[in-house]
Amino acid sequence: MFMLYGIAEAMGWSGAITALTFGITLSSASAIGNRLFGTRVEEVFSLAEVSEVERGVFREVVFLLKTFFFLYLFRYLGISLQFGNLWVLAFGLVATVLVYVVRPLIVRWTVSRQTTKADASLMAIMVPKGLAAAVLASLPRQEGVALGDVIEGIVYSVIFFSLMFTAVLVFLQQRQPVRGMYRRVLRRFAEEESSDTAQDLQPGEVV
């Protein structure tokens, strides 16, 4: 993967997209081989697939990397976010509020009705912005784009407020009145199975 990344960047292409394509190819190697060349070479392509043990190792590595970059993001965000320009902060706050207002409607229109209200509520809440937004926000200023520092400040404030909102709403969505508000907006979704019903069920019985 590192070799492909370096080759792609040296040729002026996107190393990140190359790594993404490489991962997709590995996870679907046998299906790709079967579709392109028939079942005769399916076993050959299946050797390139990632085993469950390797997937477990990759999941642990990804968890460590996410933890590292999450801490790095907060440090970088704390250093870069300045409270001198209140208009930038206000714009970021308004943009964040709009995201959290529109998100439940998007979940209501796009998610399967078989999803429980509890899961749909979490989908409506979990929209924090992170490292990718921070990296992209710094590009206009680095490239000398007009008002690049303003763009960066707005995005950083959105990241800050979205993280705070998510942390608070995940805690409050289990309590009234926030729980009831999300349930009313997402009332078309399936009801959660009550604990009493689950305890009364015998093995092999279904609701």
Q: What is the mean pLDDT of the chain?
A: 78
* Cis peptide preceding 128, ω within 30 of 0: no
pLDDT at 67: 80
Cβ atoms 82, 89 nearer than 8 A: no
Mean pLDDT, rounded, for 122-128? 86
Residue closest to 111 by CA, chosen among 100, 97, 121, 126: 121
Q: Calculate ∠ Cα 43-46-49, nearest 5°.
A: 170
14: left (phi over 0), alpha (psi -120 to 50) or beta: beta
DSSP secondary structure code for residue 112 in this structure = -
3-class DSSP state for residue 27? helix
Mean pLDDT, rounded, for 112-121? 84
Residue 44 has, within 13 A of its CA and on its CB side, a CA count of 8
Mean pLDDT, rounded, for 122-150? 81
The torsion defined by the Cα of 94, 99, 104 and 105, in degrees rounded to 10, comes to: 100
pTM (2 d.p.): 0.63
pLDDT at 196: 45
Residue closest to 32 by CA, chosen among 20, 45, 23, 22: 45
pLDDT at 49: 61
DSSP strand E in the chain: where? none
Cβ atoms 123, 111 nearer than 8 A: yes
